Amino acid sequence: MKLERPVRGHPPKSEPGETRARGAHFPGFDGLRAIAALTVLGVHTSFVSGFTIHDPAWGRYTSRLEIGVAVFFVISGFLLYRPFALAHFSGQAPPRALTFWVRRLKRIIPAYWLAFVIGVYVLRSDSGGASWKGPLIYLGFAQIYWPNYILHGLSQAWSLCVEMTFYLMVPLYAAALARRARTLIGQLRAELIGVAVLTAISFAWRIPLLPIAYREGQRHQEGMAQVMVNWLPGYIDQFALGMLLAVISAYLVRSEQRPAWLWHPALPWVSWAVAAGAFVAVSRIGLSPIPLVASPTGPSLAREALYGLFGLALVVPAVFGEQDRSFIRRTLRWRPLALVGVVSYGVYLWHESWIHMYLTWTGDTLFHIPWWHLTILALLLSVAAATLSYVLVERPVLRSGRRRPSGTGVARGSGSVTTATATATTTATATAGAGAGAAAPGLTRRGADAGRLLTRLIGART
């Protein structure tokens, strides 16, 4: 087919292959969310227990389990930008900005506010709510803009603040790229340039701030540079990697191409081998095993790049290729892992409060705690709290006000799939904020089944 076909104007009739691709779902993403949430939980339990500090051989690796945040950011970049990329390449209307923002707020705010109120005021996991200003800052997703607030409240919610600014940016960025009519190749070129610019912005933001932040850290100062590196420009490169996958995926749908190398049976193994290599490399570049200790500019930039590479390589097999083939993809779809993935946003929100409660209940001394005891208890309690939050708060809020569009569907074999339907399918799987990252977990079709199973397990009606 001709690749120089205009992407603006009246779109061509959908072909069967295009229909299947647009209606595609991504069943491995709940597994990815679970992996990301579990690594973040792991970095916190290994540090609090003392395992990271007392066992340097393994501590260099457990201290880098914070890498799960990058996975959340890559997931968000892919799932949230893909509907816009599809619209750009098809010449159809993109998702409405207001609708996009409202859904993101519904996905993030209720669960976070609930976890904050119970964690801070009931479980007393932090004193961040003592002053009148604290709750306004924390509940308003502004803690990353205040040096003396960023690590209080629900400290892991700093990534939600980053996610919220990314949500604000996505429709505006997409609108800027859609202002001109372009050919298919021209639009691809514009999208790739945009991703490159976002990545350059991230490193241009970090390079002058990191030396200042390092000096502030050495002096034990709570300076602005240390919080500014955690603003959206400092992490936009990781979102951009997810957006890159969205662009490639959308382009392949529109051009009806299926590159053999992206569908090769070896892709999942090669991709995850790259992810493993990135993880080992970042664990051995001399970064401090103690969380939040600033590092010199060189290692910090290397960490950012390797975290992004890890997230990208981990996600690739869940985007391209036959999703019902390969051991890796089947692992991502494994029911227990998918169940954790469905509620991974809650796991991310609740796990630090339960770590605090473990210390309160047992009276154990910080850094002298059996790691597995702490990890297993924090995991079980976090999954339980996250499940209740999902069934009683998150899912009802997301379902409220939702109307099923007439004449559309996402089932295989449907005659046509509009952009709105493709958007709904993608948004249903979209994550948004689980965690230090935290891309909030949504539902894939397999995730929807897992959600129903979760509901049955706790005796609620679906």
> Is 152 inside any structural domain?
yes
Banded model confidence at residue 403, pLDDT cuts 50, 70, 90: low
Average pLDDT over residues 122-149: 86
Banded model confidence at residue 131, pLDDT cuts 50, 70, 90: confident
H helix runs in 178-231, sequence order: 184-218, 224-228
Q: Helix 97-117 crosses helix 158-177 at what angle (to 10 degrees)?
A: 180
- Identify the residue with better confidence: 124 or 421: 124
- Please, how many CA atoms are within 13 Å of residue 91, restricted to the half-sphere of its CB? 16
Whole-angstrom Cα distance, residue 61 to residue 282?
A: 9
Q: Which residues pair with 183 in a beta bridge?
A: 6
Whole-angstrom Cα distance, residue 394 to residue 110?
A: 7
> Is 5 inside any structural domain?
no
pLDDT in tens, 203-222: 999 999 999 999 998 887 78
Average pLDDT over residues 365-388: 96
Q: Provide the phi-psi class of 141: left if phi over 0, else alpha when psi is between -120 and 50, else beta.
A: left
Whole-angstrom Cα distance, residue 42 to residue 60?
A: 13
> Is 299 inside any structural domain?
yes
- Picking from 49-63, 215-229, 252-266, 271-285, which range would have the lowest pLDDT averaged per residue? 215-229
Q: How much is the pLDDT for 128?
A: 63
Average pLDDT over residues 137-154: 93
Question: pTM above the 0.75 mark?
Answer: yes
Q: What percentage of the chain carries pLDDT values higher than 70?
A: 81
Is residue 404 scored above 90 in pLDDT?
no
pLDDT in tens, 180-210: 878 999 999 999 999 999 999 999 999 999 9
> Is 254 inside any structural domain?
yes
Q: How much is the pLDDT for 126?
A: 77
Q: How much is the pLDDT for 422?
A: 38
> Is 4 inside any structural domain?
no
Banded model confidence at residue 130, pLDDT cuts 50, 70, 90: low
**Exposure b/e, 211-247, CB count within 10 A at least 16 = b:** ebbbebbeeeeeeebbbbbbbbbbbbbbbbbbbbbbb
> Is 324 inside any structural domain?
yes
Supply the range of the domain harboring residue 249: 16-400+410-457
- Identify the residue with better confidence: 216 or 244: 244
Whole-angstrom Cα distance, residue 28 to residue 314?
A: 11
Q: How much is the pLDDT for 182?
A: 83
Q: How much is the pLDDT for 1?
A: 36
Whole-angstrom Cα distance, residue 247 to residue 265?
A: 22
- Residue type for 457, please? L
Contact (Cβ atoms closer than 8 angstroms) between residue 32 and residue 314: yes
Is residue 414 scored above 50 in pLDDT?
no
Which residues contact residue 102 at a Cβ distance below 8 angstroms, ignoring those fewer than 6 apart?
Answer: none
Mean pLDDT for the chain? 84
Is residue 424 scored above 50 in pLDDT?
no
Burial status of residue 79 (CB atoms within 10 A of its CB: 0-12, 13-18, 19 or more): buried
> Is 266 inside any structural domain?
yes
Instruction: Name the phi and psi angles at 162, rounded to 5.
Output: -65, -45
> Is 30 inside any structural domain?
yes
Is residue 7 scored above 60 in pLDDT?
no
Which residues contact residue 377 at a Cβ distance below 8 angstroms, ignoring those fewer than 6 apart?
Answer: 354, 358
pLDDT in tens, 428-446: 333 334 444 444 333 344 4
Q: How much is the pLDDT for 180?
A: 80
Q: How much is the pLDDT for 24?
A: 58
Q: What percentage of the chain carries pLDDT values higher than 90?
A: 72
Q: How many domains, in total, are found in the chain?
A: 1
